[in-house]
């Protein structure tokens, strides 16, 4: 087996003038040294993963004429060991002509900005907008109009397990086998086949139980490089991403700025929302990864869980000289949630209403579902006011407010604050013209010995898919989870399926598995009824056995499996009207998603709409700027809960990730496009000691549109905390009247913020 290493660009934007690989090629132990130009004999440009009216650049797995971001792979090496491969990189001479770089979103969109793709004429990868209702009239007549600029910085799902790929091209069978750490083996198979113009059915992708898939592992980007090296050498080639490579290029996320205008009536009723979001997808959000689409999702969901009379939204998505942008636990729902939930608290303040009461006045009511939001989606079910009420009890909101009044009297330096926000978590996306498509297929199979195999294109990424699907199938087929085995992660073993993203496991995957199990169950009951010459209506399966009503005759699944497959075999015992008693395959898609625009041009991309509320209690030290998280409470409504422990695990993990984004995590690009923090001592994550025990409670509003009433819930917990934290810090620092304008809230930023307060400068004797 050979090992791959990649020479990466030190420049954020530069023309490649020459590459000399002669010395590297001559090094003993080196088997291949390929530049972007060399590689063109094996592959074409990276195929688009999303193209909804977007500009799609022609880019390759290795840079060709230009480099667009610091860390972009320029030359690939395969050698006998990783050590030799890394040494060979040092023998490669690349001559660059540095070009002006642009990193800031609004600077990239400004006239005269350096252009990444000059033939575009600008840096706009994607542009979209819509308006519904009498927007101008509502704003002209509103008692209050509020304006906000709310930016969020760039961070991502930086997981312990980075990317890894082992590509094996077998020249004899002309088969390409790729083991890799991915969320969607089937999509990777298609993308690899498209990249190399290689027969897709000759590509096999195998992904065992992986970790670190928070949306970051949804593409074939660097993974194509080991494939390239294997095709060139005819030998297996392995690449394991280093931490530095992961931080430089492992699909980044967030990075945008909102401008919100909100019209509110005299009595605190939301009337109009006029919102613009400028997104930054780094060098690309279409081919390297599908980051550009998240801003369209954000546009559709910025109205949140509230009612509006008029709505206008637009987005411009910029390319810049930063790493490519993909998905990360939110994919636009986070972008939608953050600005509005911060604005809700600030508006409540300005109106002299509590943030709780302001939300209550504007929530969609529990009796109004299914509710078509002004932006188009159909919200399936929910009880937003109940989530908020339960949250107030869970976090003892009134108690915290009383303690706050005592503690923040100006005598101490630690200021207590509580922030809360509501959340809408559209889950189970069905997006046209991209890899985030709209169906899932599962097969449930009865084996001769009575065990059940479930074949799914879904992928276990540590989210408990194997556990929940075993539970679902065991419940449907009346057996135990131990009788069920979930097969996933091998494209040659499972139906073509999409994998876990958009929290679609509990919508698409659970639904198709449940429906397939139901079909299999009906067929098995028909077979038993036929054997017993009785009516099928009285037959059921429980405790691993099929039983006649009244319990006279029973047949274990093992006995039935044996009869069907072996003694005597299907021919003798299956009634004519049962076409396949061995297995059932179900294709499931959402009944409420729709790509046919309605009369206002709106489409509906999500199949369920989980919701929730959460609160954080903080103490902010006005002397040091340190924020201490004292309490966290979450109330989640994901419909029917399959496994409470897994649901709470998702809530805990996601929430801590969100706190990381609010307080610590940030890609530090300077204005030249140089990334300064490429290790985990400078890209900081929250530690277990940074968060208190998290309290959870639930509201259960079953979805009428999924097989079991379940809804997805993998992202909501990660999308709430940034808004909640900003609200908590602004609440704590109320005596200083400051508004957070930059994230993450490091102690330095908190002090810089406090420095803008005359009162703080007076108290701490600091100059203006």
Partner 1 sequence: MKFEGESQLEGSKDAVWDALNDPRVIEKCTPGCQSLSIVAPDSYELVTKIGIASISGTYKGSMRLGDRLGREQYAMFAEGAGPIGTMSVAGTVALRENGAATSVNYSFEVQVGGAMTGMAQRALLPIAKLLTKQFFKSVDKLLAGASLPAAEEGGT
Indicate the SS3 state at residue 657: helix
Which lies closer to partner 1 via its Cβ, residue 240 or residue 314?
240
The footprint of partner 1 on this chain (CB under 8 A) covers a number of residues equal to: 18
Query: Least distance from C-beta 33 to partner 1, angstroms?
Result: 15
Q: Which residues of 596-633 are buried (b: 16+ CB within 10 A; e: fewer)?
A: eeeeeebbbbbbbbbbbbbbbbbbbbbeebbbebebbb
Please identify which residue in 675, 713, 718, 743 interacts with partner 1, judged by CB under 8 A. 675
**What is d(CA 584, CA 651) in angstroms, rounded to the nearest whole number?**
33
**Going along 281-382, which residue ranges are E strands?**
310-318, 371-372, 378-379
* Residues 6+ positions from 4 with CB-CB distance below 8 Å: 76, 77, 78, 85, 225, 226, 229, 237, 238, 239
Q: Is 431 in the site for partner 1 (CB under 8 A)?
A: no
Report the residue number, 247 or 263, with the smaller CB distance to partner 1: 247
Say how far residue 281 (Cα) sits from the centre of its chain: 15
CB closer to partner 1 out of 64 and 244? 244
Please tell me the chain's helix, strand, coil percentages from 3-state DSSP, rounded to the nearest 5.
30, 25, 40
Nearer to partner 1 (CB atom), residue 323 or residue 446: 323
Compute the least distance from the CB of residue 70 to partner 1, in Å.
7
Among 401, 602, 652, 672, binds partner 1 (CB under 8 A): 672
CB of 674 to partner 1, least distance (A): 5
Region of 5-13, 30-38, 336-344, 494-502 interacting with partner 1 (CB under 8 A): 5-13
User: Is residue 38 within 8 Å of residue 1, measured between CB atoms?
Assistant: no
Q: Is residue 554 near partner 1 by the rule CB under 8 A?
A: no
Nearer to partner 1 by Cβ, of 243 and 518: the residue is: 243
Per rule CB under 8 A, is residue 524 in the interface with partner 1?
Answer: no
Assess 156 for contact with partner 1 (CB under 8 A): no
Ramachandran area for residue 535 (φ above 0: left; ψ -120 to 50: alpha; else beta): beta
Separation of alpha carbons 71 and 85, rounded Å: 17
Decide whether 136 or 679 has the Cβ nearer to partner 1. 679
Closest CA to 572 of 537, 527, 526: 527
* Beta carbon of residue 355, minimum distance to partner 1 (angstroms, whole number): 40
DSSP track, 603-626: -B-EEE--EEEEEEEEEEETTT--
Q: Determine if 679 is a binding residue for partner 1 (CB under 8 A).
A: yes
CB of 598 or CB of 679, closer to partner 1: 679
User: Does 674 contact partner 1 by CB under 8 A?
Assistant: yes
CB atoms within 10 A of CB 532: 16
By CB under 8 A, residue 58 contacts partner 1: no
Regarding 9 and contact with partner 1 (CB under 8 A), the answer is yes
Closer residue to partner 1, CB minimum distance, 282 or 716: 282
Q: Which residue in 458, 268, 227 sits closest to 359, CA to CA?
A: 268
Contact 3, 78 (CB under 8 A): yes
- Single out the segment in contact with partner 1 by CB under 8 A; choices: 7-15, 471-479, 565-573, 720-728: 7-15
389 part of the interface to partner 1, by CB under 8 A = no
Q: Rounded to whole angstroms, how far apart are CA atoms 311 and 302?
A: 10
8 is a contact residue toward partner 1 (CB under 8 A): yes
CB of 672 to partner 1, least distance (A): 7
Q: Is the CB of 65 or the CB of 93 nearer to partner 1? A: 93
Instruction: Give least dist CB 250 to partner 1, A.
Output: 14
For the chain, state the CA radius of gyration.
28
Q: Which two tokens stand for residue 641?
A: 């809960």
H or E stretch covering 8: strand 2-8
Angle between helices 355-362 and 333-351 (to 10 degrees): 120
Residues 6+ apart with CB under 8 A from 259: 147, 148, 149, 275, 276, 277
* Element of type H or E holding 637: strand 627-637
**CA separation for the pair 713, 638 (Å, rounded):** 6
Residue 734 or 749: the one with the smaller Cβ distance to partner 1 is 749
| Contact call for residues 272 and 139 (beta carbons, < 8 A) | yes
Helix (H, G, I), strand (E, B) or coil at 238: strand
Q: How far is the CB of 67 from partner 1 (least distance, A)?
A: 11
Query: Is position 413 an interface residue for partner 1 (rule: CB under 8 A)?
Result: no
Cβ contact 286:244 at 8 Å = no
In the list 59, 62, 70, 750, the residue contacting partner 1 (rule: CB under 8 A) is: 70
Using CB under 8 A as the binding rule, whether residue 254 contacts partner 1 is answered as no
Q: Judged by CB under 8 A, does residue 13 bind partner 1?
A: no
Q: Of the ranges 184-192, 339-347, 514-522, 668-676, which one interacts with partner 1 (CB under 8 A)?
A: 668-676
* Among the listed residues 184, 678, 703, 727, the single contact to partner 1 using CB under 8 A: 678
Stretch binding partner 1 (CB under 8 A), from 8-16, 169-177, 398-406, 415-423: 8-16
Shortest Å, Cβ 154 to partner 1: 16
Q: Which of 567, 676 has the CB closer to partner 1?
A: 676
Neighbouring CB atoms inside 10 A of 106's CB total 13
H/E element, 728: helix 721-732
Beta carbon nearer to partner 1, 69 or 488: 69
Where do runs of H (alpha helix) occur along 71-161? 82-89, 105-109, 135-141
- For the bound state, the minimum distance from the C-beta of residue 91 to partner 1, rounded and expressed in Å, comes to 9
Q: How many residues does the chain have?
A: 768
Among 677, 684, 734, 764, binds partner 1 (CB under 8 A): 677
Binding-residue pattern over the window 498 to 517 for partner 1, x denoting contact by CB under 8 A: --------------------
Considering beta carbons, is residue 11 or 346 the nearer one to partner 1? 11
And the tokens for 318? 């910029």
Work out whether 682 is an interface residue with partner 1 (CB under 8 A).
yes
Stretch that binds partner 1, among 3-11, 20-28, 172-180, 463-471 (CB under 8 A): 3-11
Whether omega for the bond prior to residue 370 falls within 30 degrees of 0, making it cis, is: yes
Q: How far is the CB of 117 from partner 1 (least distance, A)?
A: 22
**Six-digit token pair at 270?**
């939301």
Cβ proximity to partner 1: between 10 and 704 the closer is 10
Nearest to 712 by CA among 509, 444, 560: 509
Residues 215-244 that bind partner 1 (CB under 8 A): 244
| 90: contact with partner 1 by CB under 8 A | yes
HSE-CB of 255 using CA atoms within 13 angstroms: 34
The minimum distance between CB 88 and partner 1, in angstroms, equals 11
Q: How far is the CB of 349 from partner 1 (least distance, A)?
A: 38
Output the smallest distance, CB 676 to partner 1, in A. 5
Residue 11 near partner 1 by CB under 8 A: yes
Under the criterion CB under 8 A, does residue 102 sit at the interface with partner 1? no
Nearer to partner 1 among residue 244 and residue 643 (C-beta): 244
The answer to the question of residue 676 lying near partner 1 (CB under 8 A) is: yes
Residues of this chain that bind partner 1 (CB under 8 A) = 8-11, 70, 89-90, 244, 247, 672, 674-679, 681-682
């Amino acid at each position: 087996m050979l090992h791959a290493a990649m020479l990466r660009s030190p420049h954020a934007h530069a023309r490649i003038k020459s590459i000399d690989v002669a010395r590297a090629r001559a090094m003993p132990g080196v088997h291949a040294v390929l530049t972007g130009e060399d590689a063109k004999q094996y592959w074409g440009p990276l195929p688009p993963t999303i193209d909804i009216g977007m500009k799609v650049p022609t880019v390759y797995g290795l840079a060709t004429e230009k480099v667009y971001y610091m860390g972009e792979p320029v030359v690939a090496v395969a050698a006998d060991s990783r050590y030799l491969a890394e040494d060979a990189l040092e023998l490669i001479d690349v001559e660059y002509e540095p070009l002006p770089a642009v990193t800031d979103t609004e600077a990239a969109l400004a006239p005269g900005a350096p252009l990444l793709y000059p033939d575009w004429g600008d840096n706009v990868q994607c542009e979209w907008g819509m308006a519904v209702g009498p927007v101008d009239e509502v704003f002209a007549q509103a008692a209050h109009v509020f304006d906000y600029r709310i930016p969020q910085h760039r961070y991502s799902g930086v997981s312990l397990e980075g990317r890894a790929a082992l590509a094996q091209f077998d020249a004899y069978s002309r088969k390409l086998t790729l083991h890799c750490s991915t969320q969607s083996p089937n999509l990777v198979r298609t993308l690899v086949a498209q990249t190399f113009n290689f027969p897709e059915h000759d590509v096999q992708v195998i992904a065992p139980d992986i970790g670190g898939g928070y949306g970051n592992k949804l593409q074939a980007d660097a993974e194509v490089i080991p494939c390239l090296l294997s095709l060139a050498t005819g030998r297996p080639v392995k690449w394991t991403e280093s931490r530095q490579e992961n931080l430089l290029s492992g699909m980044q996320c967030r990075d945008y700025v909102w401008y919100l205008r909100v019209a509110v009536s005299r009595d605190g009723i939301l009337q109009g929302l006029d919102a613009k979001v400028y997104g930054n997808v780094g060098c690309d959000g279409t081919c390297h990864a599908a980051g550009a689409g998240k801003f369209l999702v954000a546009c559709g969901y910025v109205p949140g869980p509230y009612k509006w009379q008029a709505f206008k939204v637009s987005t411009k998505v910029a390319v810049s000289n930063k790493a490519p942008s993909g998905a990360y636990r939110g994919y636009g729902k986070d972008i939608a949630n953050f600005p509005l939930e911060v604005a809700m608290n600030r508006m409540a303040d300005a109106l002299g209403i509590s943030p709780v009461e302001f939300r209550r006045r504007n929530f969609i009511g529990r009796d109004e579902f299914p509710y078509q939001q002004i932006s188009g989606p159909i919200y399936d079910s929910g009880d937003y006011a109940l989530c908020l009420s339960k949250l107030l009890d869970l976090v003892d909101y009134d108690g915290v407010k009383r303690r706050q009044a005592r503690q923040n009297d100006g005598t101490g330096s630690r200021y207590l604050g509580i922030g809360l926000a509501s959340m809408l978590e559209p889950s189970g996306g069905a997006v046209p013209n991209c890899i985030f498509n709209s169906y899932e297929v599962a097969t449930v199979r009865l084996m001769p010995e009575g065990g059940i195999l479930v074949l799914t294109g879904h992928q276990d990424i540590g989210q408990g898919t194997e556990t929940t699907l075993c539970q679902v199938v065991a419940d449907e087929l009346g057996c135990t989870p131990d009788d069920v085995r979930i097969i996933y992660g091998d494209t040659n073993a499972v139906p073509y399926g999409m994998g876990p993203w958009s929290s679609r496991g509990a919508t698409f995957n659970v639904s198709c598995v449940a429906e397939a199990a139901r079909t299999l169950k009906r067929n098995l009951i028909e077979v038993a009824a036929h054997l017993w010459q009785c009516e099928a209506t009285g037959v059921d399966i429980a405790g691993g056995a099929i039983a006649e009503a009244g319990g006279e005759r029973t047949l274990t699944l093992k006995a039935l499996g044996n009869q069907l497959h072996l003694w005597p075999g299907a021919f003798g015992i299956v009634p004519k009207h049962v076409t396949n008693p061995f297995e059932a395959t179900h294709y499931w898609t959402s009944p409420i998603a729709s790509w046919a625009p309605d009369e206002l041009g709106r489409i509906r991309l999500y199949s369920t709409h989980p919701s929730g509320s959460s609160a954080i209690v903080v103490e902010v030290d006005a002397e040091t700027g340190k924020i201490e998280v004292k309490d966290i409470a979450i109330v989640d409504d994901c419909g029917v809960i399959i496994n409470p422990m897994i649901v709470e695990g998702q809530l805990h993990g996601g929430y801590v990730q969100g706190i990381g984004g609010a307080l610590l995590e940030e890609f530090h690009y300077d204005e030249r496009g140089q990334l300064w923090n490429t290790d985990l001592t400078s890209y900081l994550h929250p530690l277990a000691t940074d968060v208190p025990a998290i309290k959870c409670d639930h509201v259960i509003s079953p979805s009428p549109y999924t097989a079991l009433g379940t809804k997805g819930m993998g992202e909501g917990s990660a999308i709430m905390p940034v808004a909640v934290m900003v609200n908590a810090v602004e609440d704590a620092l109320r005596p200083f009247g400051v508004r957070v304008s930059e994230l993450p809230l490091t102690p330095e930023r908190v002090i810089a913020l406090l420095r803008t307060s005359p009162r703080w400068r007076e108290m701490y004797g600091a100059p203006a």
